Amino acid sequence: MNLRDLRYLLAVVEHEHFGRAAKACGVSQPTLSVQIRKLEDLIGVTLFERSSKTAAPTEACLRLIGHARAAVSAAEAIIATARNLRDPLSGRFRLGIIPTLAPYLLPLVFAPLRQALPQLDLEPWEDQTSALLERLRAHELDAVLLATDEDGPDLVSLPLFAEPFLAALPPDHPLAGRPEILETDLARDILVLADGHCLRDQTVEACGGDAALSGPLRAASLPTLLNMVAAGYGTTLIPGLAAGAAQDAGIVLRPLSTRAGRTVRIAWRAHYPRRAAVEAVGEVIAARLKGFAQGAAGGMV
Amino acid sequence: MNLRDLRYLLAVVEHEHFGRAAKACGVSQPTLSVQIRKLEDLIGVTLFERSSKTAAPTEACLRLIGHARAAVSAAEAIIATARNLRDPLSGRFRLGIIPTLAPYLLPLVFAPLRQALPQLDLEPWEDQTSALLERLRAHELDAVLLATDEDGPDLVSLPLFAEPFLAALPPDHPLAGRPEILETDLARDILVLADGHCLRDQTVEACGGDAALSGPLRAASLPTLLNMVAAGYGTTLIPGLAAGAAQDAGIVLRPLSTRAGRTVRIAWRAHYPRRAAVEAVGEVIAARLKGFAQGAAGGMV
DNA sequence: GCAGGTTCATAGGCATAGCCTATCACGGCC
DNA sequence: GGCCGTGATAGGCTATGCCTATGAACCTGC
């Protein structure tokens, strides 16, 4: 059976006349006659009582056309729905973001994204890098924002902006008077995040290995870590976008003499079909953060 | 768009794998790939994210498959419904019957019809010949039972049984003593039905023209006419099947010396597709009435 | 009663859509 | 690097759907 046949059927039911129905369908009358006959043979039911005057739908035909109408309109609904879905810059877009980035980046980019991509229904999802990559590979996310470097050949990514690290010190810390800090000087009393946070590993690496990181404290989140630093438990490195929050907590920030930092990327599956959406989102974020790397040293965005 | 394509689409959604979906559809994998690709081109939406591992439905695809399922199941409903409608001996059957026949014939044939054609949903419709033919031609009836001879080339008919006329007399009528009656002897005080009843015209004709039919009374129905005869207003001819009712009314019945009568036929449109149903109904009625012409002279069925 | 205009059905020819097999291209995995 | 898996592509065949032309049945009007 064919949707075309059902359209023919409905046309003949409507016109009760093969010739006029054929004209309405844009085909010749013989075409319609043959196709209707085939349909009758297929379903084993005579659909029309033909005479030299007219083609009257049989009782059986009238019982069937409800279903025929349903099939045809469902097909039309597919076309109509597809038309709305056609724009890759519209629809749901599930974006994974790491926890050390989300609370500081989202407030900056939410409004610009809404303005630049009004049809895109952005759904942020916050989790650590490995969990995000798992969800991305499972098609549960459309793209992720990461601060790490590699994720495998099945994914591709685009760098968005560079984010410098800053030394975060309690106000009364011995190093607080210096204009810049050397990371290795922090190692003595540095505090880090819990396992799984990429920022933890980057902090450890910047400070020259994990030898000194023996403290019992592993902050579950960056805000907690900032509070601990403010309370004088130790020092840490923070990503530049968190500078505002750190200063609000009463923490002294100093640039690193090495200018160490991390690069934030947007990553997605290599086969993901809405690449245009990913790139548009990335572009808006990159534009909003343009020049951030320079300005961030002063603690501003 | 084609229902086949939608079936392919649903199969790939279900299996998330072109090869297995192809096997499920009974076609080759390239066939499926090409058709899905065409569908994507047609609706302008990427339906699957292909990789070397699997074919994952896109968000847009998942929004569309509801409609696709609706279309496919509507098509299947057509097939299923058609299967039930396929038997011409099932379904509604609207049978028109003339008023001088309906009340006497229906009680005889209703049970046999129910038994012989249990799937046939018989709907009797009582009206005079011309109205019945009009409804029949308008496809509002499937067949009609008539006692006249001709109805035009667009209709065909089949004789079912012969029904003799009987002379109906008040018990105290001068002719009541005779064993048989000559129709022309009835003409003096004969009563007839209202215009439109075929029995009226047949009575007039049997009694030798309308010369004597000057009475003001034109009974609207046969039971009324019987009551008038029983009350001594005059005589009449009745169809054999009404013998029982006439005797119950206290009327004397006598055979006609000419053995005049009428033939009851079933008629239907020449193009009517359920000829088998018409013939089956006719056959049951004819079988029930077999031998009636002989027995009817004695007032029995 | 027969010509002319309906109706739908049929026949023959043509284009193409759909299918198959064979093969390619890519990626993952020993 | 070879091997298996995935889906995509190419070429050839067939069936199907379409057209025009024609036929058969029927009505209508002269």
Reduced 3-state DSSP string for B111-152: HHHHHHCCCEEEEEEECCHHHHHHHHHCCCCCEEEECCCCCC
Residues 180-199 of B with CB under 7 A from strand D: none
Quick one: A76 and A101 in the same domain?
no
Mean pLDDT for chain B overall: 88
Sorting pLDDT into bands at 50, 70 and 90, what band is B150? confident
Quick one: B48 and B93 in the same domain?
no
So what's the pLDDT on residue A37?
93
Sorting pLDDT into bands at 50, 70 and 90, what band is B220? confident
For B51-61, the pLDDT digits (tens) are 888 888 998 99
CATH number of the domain within which B164 lies: 3.40.190.290
Range in A116-125, A240-249, B84-93, B186-195 the model is least confident about: B186-195
Sorting pLDDT into bands at 50, 70 and 90, what band is B290? confident
State whether the beta carbon of A35 lies below 7 angstroms from any atom of strand C. Answer: no
Quick one: B22 and B70 in the same domain?
yes
What is the distance in angstroms between the Cα of A71 and the nearest Cα belonging to chain B? 4
Quick one: B35 and B134 in the same domain?
no
DSSP category for residue A242? G
Quick one: B154 and B250 in the same domain?
yes
**B38 vs B151, more confident:** B38
Q: Do A287 and A112 form a contact (C-beta atoms < 8 A)? A: yes
D11 C1' to A11 CA distance, Å: 39
Q: Do A268 and A139 form a contact (C-beta atoms < 8 A)? A: no
For A126-150, the pLDDT digits (tens) are 999 999 998 998 889 999 999 998 7
The whole-number average pLDDT for the span A80-92 is: 89
Half-sphere exposure (Cβ direction) of B183: Cα atoms closer than 13 Å: 19
Quick one: A77 and A184 in the same domain?
no
Strands B192-193 and B218-219: what pairing?
parallel
B75: contact with A, CB 8 A cutoff: yes
Quick one: A165 and A236 in the same domain?
yes
Q: Do B240 and A20 form a contact (C-beta atoms < 8 A)? A: no
User: What does the radius of gyration of chain A's CA atoms come to, in whole angstroms?
Assistant: 32
Quick one: B17 and B111 in the same domain?
no
So what's the pLDDT on residue A211?
45
Half-sphere exposure (Cβ direction) of B205: Cα atoms closer than 13 Å: 10
For B78, the closest of A43, A49, A77 (CB atoms) is A43
So what's the pLDDT on residue A128?
94
Number of domains composing chain B? 2
Quick one: B75 and B93 in the same domain?
no
Quick one: B190 and B274 in the same domain?
yes
So what's the pLDDT on residue B151?
78
- B56 with A139: Cβ contact below 8 A: yes
- A78 with B272: Cβ contact below 8 A: no
- φ, ψ (nearest 5 deg) of residue B260: -60, 155
So what's the pLDDT on residue B175?
83
Q: Supply the range of the domain harboring residue B72.
A: 3-85
DSSP category for residue B194? P
The whole-number average pLDDT for the span A166-180 is: 87
Last residue of a domain, one of B85, B101, B123: B85
